[in-house]
């Protein structure tokens, strides 16, 4: 296979911009599509995404456009719209996609209503595309500045996966190849919900012991869900699962943890989200995850408690009491 030389990035938010910058560092010609005219103007005129990543100069090879059809000629696509908008964006893009074009899904979540993962959404919206998933412990602010980052790139076609790994790799951005799409997706989706739980714990001042317990028991929930959906436990135990969970649950820099932190400090969900331009995917995914675990018959009390808090069914203290008063049982 001939190596890729160009990439189209759908989504001009922080993560899409960071991935565009990393790909440019790796030598690719990069076209990023943004729906905000001010983002397109800022990137093209001043080589900076002033709305989402202010203060970081972007590689001149990163070019911004407003229309999806300007990405039609790219060798492959990184799809980075918010998870709940993935279907509508891909449906709009589908008529422009050549058969066999690789689309790498870089957003993390479970679609509300359908309870589907992003690869299922892609299969329905753009059936002619070849799927892959990019996921792992990676803050946009770190990646855009060139700080060392390791992620999982999952692709069921090994030859294509190796080609994509070579394409997105950069001096400080290291992708590890996997073939388990479901395992890679589940880790990214569930960790956002668990990060809200860890933020609540931190905001409530419950201590580091509680924080460690939430991460560990949350990882058990993530693994059960992943295996029930057909993924492999070892994938969830890698960068795209455990690695992403540890990062997202350990820093208020995480949008999801910061929402939980505000809730734990007594703010309402509206107050926690007010003024935030970037999306906290866990807020939208939590109700879908709760429905999904009920459908699968999987035990996930932390994810369910977060969903109940966000829905206003219980308050933070009731959720904490509920988790602490669950029946005692064996760890495995």
Name all domains of the chain by residue range, CATH numbers in brackets. 6-179 (3.40.50.720), 182-324 (1.10.1040.10)
Indicate if 191 belongs to the active site.
yes
- Higher pLDDT: 69 or 252? It is 69
Per the structure block, which two tokens stand in for 155?
Answer: 């692709």
Percent of the chain at pLDDT > 70 equals: 99
DSSP per residue, 143-167: HHTT--EEEEEE-SSHHHHHHHHHH
Cα–Cα–Cα angle for 119, 124, 128, nearest 5°? 90
How confident is residue 112, by pLDDT bands cut at 50, 70 and 90?
very high
First-residue to last-residue Cα distance in the chain: 45
How confident is residue 76, by pLDDT bands cut at 50, 70 and 90?
very high
Whether residue 309 is predicted with pLDDT greater than 70 in this model: the reply is: yes
Which listed residue (116, 191, 208, 276) is catalytic? 191
Kindly state the average pLDDT of the residues 274-293. Answer: 89
């Amino acid at each position: 296979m001939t190596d890729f030389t160009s990439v189209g990035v759908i989504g001009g938010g922080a993560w899409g911009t960071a991935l565009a910058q990393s790909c440019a560092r790796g030598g690719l010609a990069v076209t990023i599509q943004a729906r905000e005219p001010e983002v397109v103007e800022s990137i093209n005129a001043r080589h900076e995404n002033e709305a989402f990543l202010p203060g970081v100069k972007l590689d001149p090879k990163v070019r911004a456009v407003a229309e999806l059809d300007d990405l039609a000629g790219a060798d492959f696509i990184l799809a980075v719209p918010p998870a709940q908008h993935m279907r509508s964006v891909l449906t709009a893009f589908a008529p422009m996609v050549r058969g066999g074009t690789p689309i790498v899904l870089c957003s993390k979540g479970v679609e509300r209503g359908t309870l589907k993962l992003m690869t299922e959404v892609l299969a329905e919206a753009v059936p002619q595309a070849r799927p892959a998933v990019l996921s792992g412990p990676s803050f946009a602010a770190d990646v855009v500045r060139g700080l060392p980052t390791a992620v999982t790139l999952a692709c069921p076609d090994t030859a294509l996966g190796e080609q994509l790994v070579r394409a997105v790799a950069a001096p400080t951005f290291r992708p590890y190849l996997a073939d388990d799409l479901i395992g890679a997706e589940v880790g990214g989706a569930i960790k956002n919900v668990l990060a809200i739980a860890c933020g609540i714990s931190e905001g409530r001042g419950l201590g580091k012991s509680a924080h460690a317990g939430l991460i560990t028991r949350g990882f058990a929930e993530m693994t059960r869900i992943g295996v029930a959906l057909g993924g492999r436990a070892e994938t969830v135990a890698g960068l795209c699962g455990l690695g992403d969970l540890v990062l997202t649950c350990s820093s208020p820099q995480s949008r999801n943890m910061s929402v939980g932190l505000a809730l734990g400090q007594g703010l309402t969900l509206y107050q926690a989200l007010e003024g935030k331009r970037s999306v906290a995917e866990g807020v939208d995914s939590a109700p879908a995850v709760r429905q999904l675990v009920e459908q699968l018959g999987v035990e996930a009390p932390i994810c369910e408690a977060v969903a109940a808090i966000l829905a206003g069914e219980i308050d933070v203290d009731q959720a904490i009491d509920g988790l602490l008063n669950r029946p005692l049982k064996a760890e495995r």
